[in-house]
Structure 1
């Protein structure tokens, strides 16, 4: 039995995924396959590094030193062929925090910010909570696949958009954007002087054969126009340790961003997050490669099972992340009925597609980062519920 086959009891650990079922689904009788964390232990080297740090027993203020920074530089160079400099780094508790900071640092109330819908739910709040205006560039959904509507994107940019929040790879549709797609997005943003704020938290989680390209790595000119938000938290299941970073090559932009972090009093990592980040990036490569193969196998399993037993459900063709986007439109249910069906009939806790925008009205998002036995149980529950409607 492999490390990813082991089932761990996460109940009563203050887990959002497992201990918040009643408030989220109004029942405890669902299998949680929703919020984006994994039911896998972090790499053993990360756990050992945390244990050793805990055994020291003193948790005073912690510096983000050259070793930590160099682990990031080495990781980005080896995994993504992106060579950055130490001084380009800023640190943050999380990518969503960084998005809030970037919106405040580089835009003003009333400014327009463009997003590609359906998209990660916090993007909406990041814009609206600071009195900025959301501009939507809906992705084109065709033949079970999503693509970018570049004509619409440019038309929207012409309306005075100040910033673009890019989701790369895309959550929830699972697209790993190709070089030509990123190049065209960057070209249009530079043409219309639109800042790119790129959320690349899923960048390490591509399926074998797929390549994540940081948009800022395309050229120095693109890098000057880009704020890149990254973290090992999704990659290695470290979200609760709150450690992320921002890469900004443009000195003026970086100073504005750092000033915003300082203004909010958010400019250091906690001791354990610091430790975990370095250990993960230093020792986690083989663990990650095994995980990527497992996730691809899980995606294939779900897709094939639905195709064989419940063709009413279509798994969108994705290229990365551990989140699958499922088209349930053939069930002829509205989003409230669909949510109720999955909870009460299938007894699985999924994310409701409409939460990612109106384009997700007839979709559900399922988290496949779990042991195979858990995945099979969830899939069988859904199949049984659909067959017995």
Structure 2
């Protein structure tokens, strides 16, 4: 596998590479500029060669591949009956909220957090209760006192947990998850745990699936997962919801069917099976590449761009960068990097008000592209420094 190959993605219907301005390096959108595992390519080619792409259902092999993956990666015995389908995590959460909430209810978020959560909650007529993460000395922690207060609200019905957290990159510890579980149990909250980045954890850390953290609240937990972030196959639109609660599982399936979302993509099934059965060698290489890229970014910014502070990521292929010392925020910050450096980042303010002085950088690309983006950023900041002095 050539991880240094800068594959051309323009004119391929890529969201990430469809930016209208030329000569812009997109370091945004959480997909990778790496080719997928050869095992996945082979599986999709075989299916394509078959020549019939009709309505698709789920096979025992599909379920076994998921069960086997969770057993191998996390030593968890997933039951087949827990596994539900969704074309994506956000569609799945939408369906869940339609079952778990009524207009006027409240859903707790730990901001700054993955921005589609906000609009998803509001679309169901619910209120967002912000349990803002504590940010101190370049690290984020949960504010448990505030979480307890928010959970005490009679309107609070659901907590959406991002684990590992996007964008701040925290891998929550067993103690942290147990405390969240205790608060949820005391106040009768449902927990939707988005664990999309659980397989992309850096050395020295280990992701703990929420259903493993505290079995006593298992019936109030829904785990959202997928091979899409891990294996770069988001376009195959196949995600997985683990729902141990039998009654909720039934209601979810009924609602999914009523929305016409019950049938998977024919290639998504094949991609999922290939990823979970044969993708481990590719993933092990990817983790080493991301570790190397992460360290390169950390070192470069520390040496050449002291105005920026990188939040040390424990997981994900994304880096959260504190730009407060530039004296810019919101649109101004991202416009600066776009116009002066010709680099496109995910805007921090989209993740919540507390992210307004941040940018999110995607490091899942060849190092040559990262180096080019960092050099452009450095040149733009050099001009910025000179401009402030004159």
TM-score grouping bracket, smaller chain normalisation: over 0.9
Partner of 1:235: 230
Q: Deviations over 1:98-143 (max 9, x none)?
A: 1101111111111010000000010001100111010000001111
Name the counterpart of 1:31: 25
Residue 375 (structure 2) aligns with: 380
Query: d(CA) in 2 for partners of 1:182 and 1:371?
Result: 34
How far apart, CA to CA, are the structure 2 residues paired with 1:29 and 1:8? 15
Distance in 2 separating the partners of 1:3 and 1:107? 47
Q: What residue in structure 2 maps to residue 135 of structure 1?
A: 129
1:226-249 deviation digits (Å, cap 9, x = unpaired): 011110000000011100111011
Normalised TM-score (structure 1): 0.97
Superposed displacement of residue 276, structure 1: 0.1
After superposition, residues 71-150 of structure 1 pair within 5 angstroms as 71-150=65-144
SS in 2 for 1:366: strand
Distance in 1 (CA, whole Å) between partners of 2:76 and 2:103 is 34
Report the CA distance between 1:334 and its aligned residue: 2.5
Distance in 2 of aligned mates of 1:188 and 1:135: 15
Alignment-derived partner of residue 266 in structure 1: 261
2:195 match: 200
Instruction: Quote the offset at 1:96 in angstroms.
Output: 0.8
Cα distance in 2 for partners of 1:28, 1:250 equals 50
Aligned residue number for residue 327 of structure 1: 322
Superposition map of 1:1-389 within 5 A? 2-19=1-18, 21-22=19-20, 27-160=21-154, 161-389=156-384
TM-score (norm 2): 0.97
Q: Which runs of 5+ in 1 are unaligned?
A: none
Measured in 2, the distance between the counterparts of 1:89 and 1:8 equals 35
Residue of structure 1 in register with 2:388 after alignment: none
Report the 3-state secondary structure (helix = DSSP H, G, I; strand = E; otherwise coil) of the residue aligned with 1:16.
coil
Q: Is the 8 A contact 2:112 2:167 kept in 1?
A: yes
Q: Distance in 2 between matches of 1:219 and 1:366?
A: 33
Instruction: Kindly indicate whether the alpha-carbon contact (under 8 Å) linking 1:208 and 1:293 is maintained by their aligned counterparts in 2.
Output: no
Whether the 8 Å CA contact 1:145–1:318 is kept in 2: the answer is: no
* Structure 2 SS opposite 1:103: helix
| SS at structure 1 position matched to 2:17 | helix
**CA drift at 1:220:** 2.8
Shift of the alpha carbon at 1:335? 1.6
Equivalent pairs counted in the alignment come to: 383
Calculate the aligned-residue CA RMSD, in Å: 0.9
Q: 1:29: Cα distance to partner?
A: 2.9
Q: Deviations over 1:15-44 (max 9, x none)?
A: 10002x12xxxx233101101100001100
